[in-house]
């Protein structure tokens, strides 16, 4: 694994994740996803740290083996990762719910795929530029 690509890709991917999440969840779909009952104010530091962790996870996966350094393979891999991660998280989040809002689950999965696609493309391009 190329450590330099991993670190730079993780940072750039985390920032892309943060910005895409802000745009989609924070601005465009703010009213679609209600705050959970009893939730306090959002802690932007933890949101940013979560985005950075996602960026580094994607960068780690992309830099294993052959190393993904082109946009289309990066998007394809990111779609697969986001699909299963978002489905898993939505199922766990729904475990205590009496009824499940399947429309909200579907939108969240699609938004997660869109965000991860951008993150995957950015990390792949960064890896390609650093070769």
Q: Is the pTM here over 0.85, yes or no?
A: yes
Residue-wise burial string across 78-91, b where 16 or more C-beta atoms lie within 10 A, e elsewhere: bbebbeebbeeebe
Write out the H or E segment, with its range, that includes residue 83: helix 71-93
CA 58 – CA 36 distance, rounded (Å): 28
10-residue mean pLDDT profile of the chain (131 residues): values are 94 98 95 80 94 98 88 96 97 89 96 98 96 76
Sequence ranges of the domains in the chain: 3-129
Give the pLDDT of residue 20.
98
């Amino acid at each position: 694994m190329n450590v330099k690509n991993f670190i730079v890709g993780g940072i750039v991917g985390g920032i892309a994740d943060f910005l895409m999440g802000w745009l989609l969840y924070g601005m465009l779909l703010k009213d679609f996803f209600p705050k959970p009952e009893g939730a306090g104010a959002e802690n932007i530091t933890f949101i940013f740290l979560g985005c950075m962790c996602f960026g580094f996870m994607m960068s780690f996966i992309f830099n294993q083996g052959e190393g993904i350094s082109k946009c289309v393979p990066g998007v394809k891999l990111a779609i697969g990762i986001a699909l299963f991660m978002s489905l898993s998280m939505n199922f766990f989040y729904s475990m205590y719910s009496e009824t499940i809002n399947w429309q909200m689950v579907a939108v969240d999965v699609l938004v997660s795929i869109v965000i991860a696609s951008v993150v995957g493309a950015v990390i792949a391009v960064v890896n390609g530029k650093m070769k």
